[in-house]
Structure 1
Amino acid sequence: MKKTIIITAGGLLFATLFYNQTLGINALIYSTFLIIALVVSKKGLLSKTTTVISALGMLTSAVAICYHGATWSIITYFFSTILFIGYVASSQSSIYISWLNGIYNSVFGVFHSFIYQQEETQVSQSKKKVDVGQLIKLIVIPLFLVIIFTILYSTSNPVFNEVLTAVDFSFINVFWMFTAVFGAFIMANIHQPLPIYDITARDQNYPNELEPKPLNEKQLKSVTNESQIGLISIICLNALLVMVLITEVIFLINSKSNHASVLSSAVHQGVYASIVSILLALTVIAIIFRGNVNFLKKNQNLRRLTYLWIGFNSLLVISIFIKNYTYIDDHGLTHKRIGVMVYLLLTMVGLCTTYLKINYRLNFVYLLRRNLAIGYATIAIYSVINWSAIITDHNIKENHIDPFYLRNLLPQNAMVLKKQGLYDEYTFNKNRKRRRSNKV
């Protein structure tokens, strides 16, 4: 009975909040209901740290939608909701497995008992059959009989047919009802989420630490050869990166004399190049330090040179940061330029976790787990802030005004434009431009 009430309430609330409605505060209301419903369905839910943090992340992104409604906040809201459902299913899983569990339950939750025929679920399955059977007896069968006999009576009785014709059924909104059924289906899927057993168990039992394996003489020679190849490769890459850093310093010294287009190209190309180089660096390091190379007694030089390479890559990131900051100082803020700063921050995090991987003999799964979790947390925090308002305020104060760009940031920057007395001008021009495009 409790399950039926939760599913029905979920469907009705879903249709009320989201049929022909924008997200806004509706996302916050639905998220609150979702947390309450899952707490009622699954005892001890809020005793798990991961579920509490993911629930707070979902609520925070919903608040961000209420506050400014930027695209990033909406995207983060859906990712956070899926993550919360995944952590409810299995609180000890990695973040990517939790996303997978969240998607699985959102789409296939009601079919879980058919997918996994296990003895321990027979009791719960029998309960589900009783609930569904009772629901059919109370709603579906009587409704079906009423419709059939109504058709028969209206055909045989003209007076009854006239009464039915006189009744106005226009208040029934078929699409609203379909939305409610869809919302109830989602609630039925996720009211008691369960993990994908095999993948989740494998993830939970997979450690972050590498373990040495006993090697015979042939294997030891092969590992030693790999270490030598890695050593020569790292020496060459360090030499190449030193040359790149020297040219970066020369460019930064002459940056004030460069044209805006040159500086812009340098920033963008630097970011794109750093994306490729850092990913390649992580790949090379993961390959070199993937196994027993980590446990060779004579690999200290390889470790030191790899640490040096990580340090040089950090200097490259800092140089790109300086170029981007100079570009912002000269030409103002934009979402892309802020995005570059966020990417550089995540790059530094990736380099730090790579250092930890080598120093503590961790595996590639550790890099995947930590970097994805930190990346998600960074983007979640990023989405809470109304960057459009910050960009508008900064550019107006620093006299880097681009009317076309600031106009495209509406409505997130509306309050700043009102404060500066520019709101009426910008909205008038935007509406006039829209009317002209409609005429064309």
Structure 2
Amino acid sequence: MTDIKKGFNGALLFAVVFTLLFHNQYLGLNLLVIESAALLWLAFTKQIDFRNRNHLIFGSGFFITALAVVFVFSDYAVVMNALSLFVFTGILIYPNAKSLITSAKLSFFNIFYAQIRFIDAFFTAKMGGGKVVNVLWKSRIFLIPLVVIAVFIGIYRSSNPVFDKLVSKVLFRVGDFFDLIFLNLDFTMVFTFLLGLAVCNYFFIRNTNEQTIKDDTNARDEVIRIKRRRPLRGLATGLKAELRAGIFLLLALNGVLLVVNCIDVYWVWFNFTWDGNVLKQFVHEGTYLLLLSIVSSILVVLYFFRGNLNFYSGNQFIKTLCLIWIFQNAVLAVSVGVRNLHYIHYFALAYKRIALAVFLVFVLYWLYTVALKVRQKKSAFYLVRANAFVLYLLFISASVFNWDQIIVDYNFRNYRESFVDLDYNSDFSDKVLPQLDKPETELSEIDKLQQTKFHFDTDLMSPAIYHNKMERRKKEFIQKWESKNILSWNYPESQAYEELKQKSR
């Protein structure tokens, strides 16, 4: 739990900075500035321990995603920055957390507790030698005199026309004063400040949850052997029955999956021929089968290797069957990857195809950890801990790539082999407008070749409509960029602006 005075001061200071940086601004350099300042504040106030592995790893992830927002400038980078803030806050609450799940729980609880502690700290803060709440409570003695004064003013106004006019003038001036305040009050600034205050409270005023920390401390990577008070013969009989059931199930599952994998290896890997139809269902079927098989493998392994079967002397055969099934699932994952490559080859790149490739990398690591669980008697906690960490690394790593540019460059460069959907490509972000901006002659050439290679019943965007859309978007982007100031600056859009201005000269 952070020192409340230090957290309170930090939250107020950075809420003001947040307002100055983000009021009526787009995201950009301002995000990197405030997050860099926050990290420096944590280092200066010794809230970051540079000897702590978790502080270094997740603090770096937080900073890397802030850089990605400025130098990649994608919605994904912004989401990953928010995710890294969420995780890093949990790490700051409990730096020795073994699992990201623990950090996520602590961080989630802190969203609410931090606001409560800020309000409590505000009302218990000193003001004029006393606490704010005490000052407000003591001020109640003036309430009744003020009511009495107001009543008598009303009586005097009704009995004296001259006094009534004088009071009316005074009230009119007071009304003008309040009108001046509220008419000129920028409510968007108030909202920005309150939003910034809520975020800064969450980040700087941190609260622990003892039960969550205790659960994390007691968690182990290895399965613990449970010694039950029951006859040895009964225990052995129960394990043997469970063992026979597991062997039967895994033999059947391996047999079925072997048939599926043999078909995929022959048909998808080495003998695939495209029949001219859309391959969306071709990829989705494999993905759904993979997901079902992976989830089943996890559940089966967690069930049979949840306890003493890990230590049973006759478990070698079922372990071998488990490892074979995990290997077959890895082959299934590769088959889905090959399907995805076929899809990309004929229908170019798209975000979901890239996401599927990243997911398959994660699946292969996931299967590797399941195999380790079987071989080295690892616990379910180990599976969650190891896979959550790798998933976090994959998410953060993916944020540093300019996927819009990679996709657009690939799609237009490979138009002779792949289908170029002009409608889809026309909606990419402003930062790739120079790559999307194609002369009509080039677009017509692409369209002519596409019509000879691909035959679909659906109506597609014509080159003329695409070109007109790009011309409109270029004008809108240039106007929008020129209205921004340095706080909203980002590298990809600044480069796009310079390239478009050069083309227009």
Task: State the alpha-carbon separation in 2 of the partners of residues 59 and 418 from structure 1.
Answer: 33
Tell me: higher relative CO, structure 1 or 2? Use CA pairs within 8 A at least 6 residues apart.
Answer: 2
Deviation at 1:187, TM superposition (A): 2.5
- Which shows bigger deviation, 21-30 or 298-307? 21-30
Whether 2:16 is the aligned partner of 1:12: answer yes
AA in 2 matched with 1:295: F
Look up the match of 1:417.
436
Deviation at 1:265, TM superposition (A): 1.9
Aligned partner of 2:469 among 418, 422, 429: 429
Task: State the alpha-carbon separation in 2 of the partners of residues 193 and 312 from structure 1.
Answer: 46
Contact 1:37 1:191 in 2 (8 A): no
Deviation at 1:57, TM superposition (A): 1.1
Deviation at 1:41, TM superposition (A): 4.6
Task: State the alpha-carbon separation in 1 of the partners of residues 424 and 196 from structure 2.
Answer: 38
Look up the match of 2:214.
201
Deviation at 1:107, TM superposition (A): 2.2
Deviation at 1:100, TM superposition (A): 1.7
Whether 2:320 is the aligned partner of 1:304: answer yes
Look up the match of 1:256.
273
Look up the match of 2:50.
46
Contact 1:73 1:383 in 2 (8 A): yes
Task: State the alpha-carbon separation in 2 of the partners of residues 78 and 427 from structure 1.
Answer: 36
Deviation at 1:139, TM superposition (A): 11
Task: State the alpha-carbon separation in 2 of the partners of residues 29 and 343 from structure 1.
Answer: 32
Structure 1 residues 180 and 190: alpha-carbon distance in aligned structure 2, compared to 1, 3 A threshold: same
Contact 1:350 1:371 in 2 (8 A): yes
Matches within 5 A, 1:59-98: 59-93=63-97, 94-98=99-103
3-state SS, counterpart of residue 46 of structure 1:
coil
Contact 2:35 2:63 in 1 (8 A): yes
Whether 2:147 is the aligned partner of 1:107: answer no
Look up the match of 2:362.
346
Look up the match of 2:427.
408
Mark the structure with the bigger radius of gyration: 2
Look up the match of 1:384.
400
Deviation at 1:235, TM superposition (A): 0.8
AA in 2 matched with 1:109: A
Contact 1:210 1:361 in 2 (8 A): yes
Task: State the alpha-carbon separation in 2 of the partners of residues 155 and 187 from structure 1.
Answer: 48
What does the per-residue CA deviation read over 1:359-401, in whole Å, with 9 as the maximum and x for residues that have no partner?
1101111111111111121011112211111011011111143
Task: State the alpha-carbon separation in 2 of the partners of residues 140 and 13 from structure 1.
Answer: 29
- Which shows bigger deviation, 18-27 or 392-401? 18-27
AA in 2 matched with 1:402: D
Deviation at 1:324, TM superposition (A): 1.3
Look up the match of 2:243.
227
Structure 1 residues 185 and 127: alpha-carbon distance in aligned structure 2, compared to 1, 3 A threshold: closer
Task: State the alpha-carbon separation in 2 of the partners of residues 163 and 194 from structure 1.
Answer: 45
Task: State the alpha-carbon separation in 1 of the partners of residues 213 and 286 from structure 2.
Answer: 39
Alpha carbon RMSD of aligned pairs, Å? 3.7
Deviation at 1:200, TM superposition (A): 1.6
- Which shows bigger deviation, 162-171 or 201-210? 162-171
Contact 2:11 2:205 in 1 (8 A): no
Structure 1 residues 126 and 383: alpha-carbon distance in aligned structure 2, compared to 1, 3 A threshold: closer
Look up the match of 1:118.
none
Task: State the alpha-carbon separation in 1 of the partners of residues 397 and 274 from structure 2.
Answer: 36
Deviation at 1:289, TM superposition (A): 0.8
Structure 1 residues 84 and 68: alpha-carbon distance in aligned structure 2, compared to 1, 3 A threshold: same
Deviation at 1:194, TM superposition (A): 2.6
Task: State the alpha-carbon separation in 2 of the partners of residues 304 and 112 from structure 1.
Answer: 54
Structure 1 residues 23 and 229: alpha-carbon distance in aligned structure 2, compared to 1, 3 A threshold: same
Deviation at 1:189, TM superposition (A): 4.0
Look up the match of 2:308.
292
Question: Percent identity between the aligned chains?
Answer: 22
Contact 2:122 2:132 in 1 (8 A): no
Aligned partner of 1:396 among 399, 405, 412: 412
Deviation at 1:186, TM superposition (A): 3.6
Task: State the alpha-carbon separation in 2 of the partners of residues 257 and 160 from structure 1.
Answer: 83
Task: State the alpha-carbon separation in 2 of the partners of residues 196 and 246 from structure 1.
Answer: 51
Deviation at 1:336, TM superposition (A): 1.2
Look up the match of 2:459.
none
Aligned partner of 1:57 among 61, 65, 72: 61
Contact 1:51 1:88 in 2 (8 A): yes
Task: State the alpha-carbon separation in 1 of the partners of residues 17 and 136 from structure 2.
Answer: 21
Look up the match of 2:451.
none
In structure 2, stretches of 5+ residues that fail to align are: 154-164, 444-463, 474-505
3-state SS, counterpart of residue 47 of structure 1:
coil
Corresponding residue pairs, total: 420
Task: State the alpha-carbon separation in 1 of the partners of residues 438 and 382 from structure 2.
Answer: 48
Contact 1:38 1:192 in 2 (8 A): no
What does the per-residue CA deviation read over 1:340-368, in whole Å, with 9 as the maximum and x for residues that have no partner?
11111111011000011111101111111
Structure 1 residues 31 and 298: alpha-carbon distance in aligned structure 2, compared to 1, 3 A threshold: same
Task: State the alpha-carbon separation in 2 of the partners of residues 126 and 347 from structure 1.
Answer: 47
Aligned partner of 1:30 among 24, 34, 39: 34
Task: State the alpha-carbon separation in 1 of the partners of residues 224 and 246 from structure 2.
Answer: 20
What does the per-residue CA deviation read over 1:77-109, in whole Å, with 9 as the maximum and x for residues that have no partner?
111101111000001221011112112223212
Look up the match of 2:481.
none
Deviation at 1:44, TM superposition (A): 4.6
Contact 2:105 2:212 in 1 (8 A): no
- Runs of 4+ more than 4 Å apart: 1-4, 125-128, 130-135, 137-141, 151-157, 418-427, 430-433
Whether 2:337 is the aligned partner of 1:321: answer yes
Contact 1:356 1:362 in 2 (8 A): yes
Deviation at 1:426, TM superposition (A): 5.2
Contact 1:303 1:358 in 2 (8 A): yes
Deviation at 1:338, TM superposition (A): 0.9
Contact 2:80 2:395 in 1 (8 A): yes
Structure 1 residues 372 and 168: alpha-carbon distance in aligned structure 2, compared to 1, 3 A threshold: same
Look up the match of 1:213.
226
Task: State the alpha-carbon separation in 2 of the partners of residues 355 and 324 from structure 1.
Answer: 25
In structure 1, stretches of 5+ residues that fail to align are: 115-124, 434-440
